[in-house]
Amino acid sequence: MEMVQAPMSIEELEKMAAVIRCDIIEMICTAAAGHPGGSLSSADIVTALYFRIMRIDPEDPGWPDRDRFILSKGHACPVWYAALAERGYFDKAHLATLRRLDSILQGHPTMNKTPGIDMTVGSLGHGLSAGLGMALSGKLRKKDYHVWVIIGDGESQEGSIWEAAMAASKWKLDNLTAILDYNHLQNDDSVDKVMPIDPLIDKWKAFGWHVIEIDGHNMKDIVDALEATRSFKGMPTMIVANTVKGKGVSFMENVCEWHGKAPCQEEADKALTELRR
């Protein structure tokens, strides 16, 4: 069993990322709650993973040999839900039920409710540890699946991120790739003002990781980096993706307030007009 849909071209991926950004705006506006900023900043990366890179089968979400994906910064789940819906894991009509009671799409992802969710996340700093566990399990059982984990820059202030980084290096988990959505903003302020995490490249290298730095909104750079990680052996890979919080919506870009604020209908209409150009 393999990914049944042919991998998208760079141009097709760019178009799908725009669709996913529209889904994000629409579902958060409908819910009147959610986190648009970090969902929009990671949309290009998530699109590349689900429509080009990962070995998956939406008709069999629990396929044992599938690649695994974890969105460790779980509050950005609208981007994950949009990608899963567009990829065919569930009907798109569910997107309009974000955060409702009994919906399969809760405010943080849960593997017991949503098809395609490989790990329940939300408590920041834990997703990378779960990912390294999956990767280590794959190594011990001689499986060839790959594990992909997106972490946030604010989330990187959590000590558990660095415990996981240390352990993944020890076990030489070259079937594990972490991607840092480096948009420089967190809930209350800039990452640098709250708790600086630089020099990031040097830190991850010091922890024994292979490090690639990219423009997180250049689809070719994203695809090239993700594809390269499969051939790099002997250590885990960290892709530092330089991104813009709220990417694609002019009045949301680099504005901390949009970390966890839902747009009203007028704002959503303006955002959708920009995204659909």
Grade residue 7 by pLDDT with cuts at 50, 70 and 90.
confident
Render pLDDT for 239-260 as a digit per residue (tens, 0 to 9).
999 999 999 999 999 999 999 9
- The reported pLDDT for the residue numbered 44 is 98
Domain spans, the chain: 10-275
What pTM was computed for the model?
0.96
Work out the average pLDDT over 74-82: 97
Render pLDDT for 161-185 as a digit per residue (tens, 0 to 9).
999 999 999 999 999 999 999 999 9
Work out the average pLDDT over 34-55: 98
Third-level CATH fold of 10-275: Rossmann fold (3.40.50)
- The reported pLDDT for the residue numbered 4 is 53
Pairing of strands 147-152, 68-71: parallel
Render pLDDT for 206-227 as a digit per residue (tens, 0 to 9).
999 999 999 999 999 999 999 9
Render pLDDT for 112-154 as a digit per residue (tens, 0 to 9).
999 999 999 989 999 999 999 999 999 999 999 999 999 999 9
The amino acid occupying position 17 is: A
- The residues near 63 (Cβ < 8 Å, ≥ 6 apart) are 1, 56, 57
Percent of the chain with pLDDT over 90: 95
Q: Starting at the earlier edge strand, list the strands of the sheet with 237-242.
A: 68-71, 147-152, 176-182, 237-242, 210-215
Render pLDDT for 257-267 as a digit per residue (tens, 0 to 9).
999 999 999 99
Percent of the chain with pLDDT over 70: 98
Residue 40 has pLDDT above 70, yes or no: yes
- Interatomic CA distance for residues 151 and 180, integer angstroms: 5
Grade residue 104 by pLDDT with cuts at 50, 70 and 90.
very high
Which runs of E-coded beta strand occur in 97-231?
A: 147-152, 176-182, 210-215
